[in-house]
Amino acid sequence: MDKEVQDMKVVSFNNSQEELSDDIKSRLEIVDSLRKRVKDGEIIEFVGASLDTSGNAVIWTSIGDIAGGVGLFEIGKHILINQYGPEGEDFDFTGD
């Protein structure tokens, strides 16, 4: 392993950028935007959730204290519920 990357966590996609699906490109754009904003000092705390193909859910956090983390997570849930609430066209409570 190259000495420069020995201590780094590296995520590698074997596909070239042109071969990536639009869904994967969209996800990577979100991650890249978040990374840039953290690096620029615009974001000082964050909470995110992910789901892998096996159905495992993970909550990712960078917080100052537990109360702030819970608050950020609850705000995220509130935004999601309001964005896709019953009055929205894209939400289906029946799961059909």
**Both structure tokens of 4:** 């420069």
Give the integer Cα–Cα distance in Å for 20 and 72: 31
Query: What does the pLDDT read at residue 32?
Result: 94
Cβ neighbours of residue 17 under 8 Å, at least 6 residues apart? 25
Q: Does residue 53 form part of some domain?
A: yes
In a domain, 4, yes or no: no
Structure tokens at 40: 């620029």
Provide DSSP, 40-83: TTS-S-EEEEEE-TT--EEEEEE-SSHHHHHHHHHHHHHHHHHH
Inside any domain, residue 95: no
Cβ partners under 8 Å of residue 37, min gap 6: 43
Q: Is 37 contained in some domain?
A: yes
Give the pLDDT score at 67.
92
Residue with tokens 């702030």: 68
**Which residue bears the tokens 């799961």?**
95
Residue 72 within a domain: yes
Counting the structural domains of the chain, the total is: 1
Give the pLDDT means over successive 10-residue stretches in the chain (96 positions). Answer: 51 58 88 94 91 87 90 87 65 58
| pTM value surpassing 0.85 | no
Domain extent at residue 35: 18-83
